[in-house]
Amino acid sequence: MRNRLIIGFVTLLTMAVAATARADVKLAYVDIQRALNDCRNGKSAKAEFRVRLEHVQAQLQGEQSEVQRLKDELDKKGPLMQPDQLQTLNQEYTRKLRDFQDDYKNTRDSLQEKDNEITGAIVRDLATIVRQLGQRNGYTMVMEKGNLLWAIPSIDITDDVIRNYDATNAKAGTLGVAPGEAPAGGGSAFGGGPQSHSSVAEPPPASTPDDAGRSTISK
């Protein structure tokens, strides 16, 4: 009888402790991709990226058209040309094709590097805002939506994060940086981070390099 009373008391005590612990836990989550796209700095970065992308696409499409023109000329007129003329045309085609491939790769890499840089800066700012909100509002944990299987919409604080970030009017990458200290480069406080695809002009079939450039700013 005594043992049963002890067991019952321990059970009630455990349930009370668990209930108290649950009452003290305050959880929230953030949709970091939406925050990145909808915050003021994210929208500005996306607009700048599109302008830059359109400029390089126009340049690459011009180079691609010239390469295609030379290839068509080789296919149609090559068999009728004198050997020296054919060699000259073939050399010009090879040179311009190589230049186009190099320009395409360099442009893609440059766009990717710049995109990663600005995205990383904004995501670090958002992480700073999340920490501030978490401390101010007493959250036990703030999670990223992309890592959740399910959560009730009422604990989504993405709008609060965006609103508080925009209210700082801070330049991207400057939150949490001490005066005179350079912002850290690359990386994300949210694991792998958001990603999406934006492409530059595709090369002709004879010169297809790797996949087109990726953009983490727009999705």
Cβ atoms 52, 111 nearer than 8 A: yes
Per residue, the 3-state secondary structure of the chain, as one string, reads CHHHHHHHHHHHHHHHHHHHHHHHCCEEEECHHHHHHHCHHHHHHHHHHHHHHHHHHHHHHHHHHHHHHHHHHHHHHHHHCCHHHHHHHHHHHHHHHHHHHHHHHHHHHHHHHHHHHHHHHHHHHHHHHHHHHHHHHCCCEEEEHHHCCCCCHHHECHHHHHHHHHHHCCCCCCCCCCCCCCCCCCCCCCCCCCCEECCCCCCCHHHCCCCCCEECCCC
pLDDT of residue 24: 81
Q: At what angle do helices 158-168 and 40-77 cross, to 10 degrees?
A: 90
What is the tens place of the pLDDT at every residue in 192-218? 456 544 444 444 444 333 333 334 664
Cβ atoms 36, 122 nearer than 8 A: yes
Answer whether 0.85 is exceeded by the pTM. no
pLDDT of residue 194: 60
CA distance 117 to 183: 11
CA distance 57 to 65: 12
What is the tens place of the pLDDT at every residue in 141-183? 999 999 999 999 999 999 999 999 999 999 999 996 655 555 5
CA distance 77 to 92: 15
Would you list the domain boundaries of the chain? 2-215
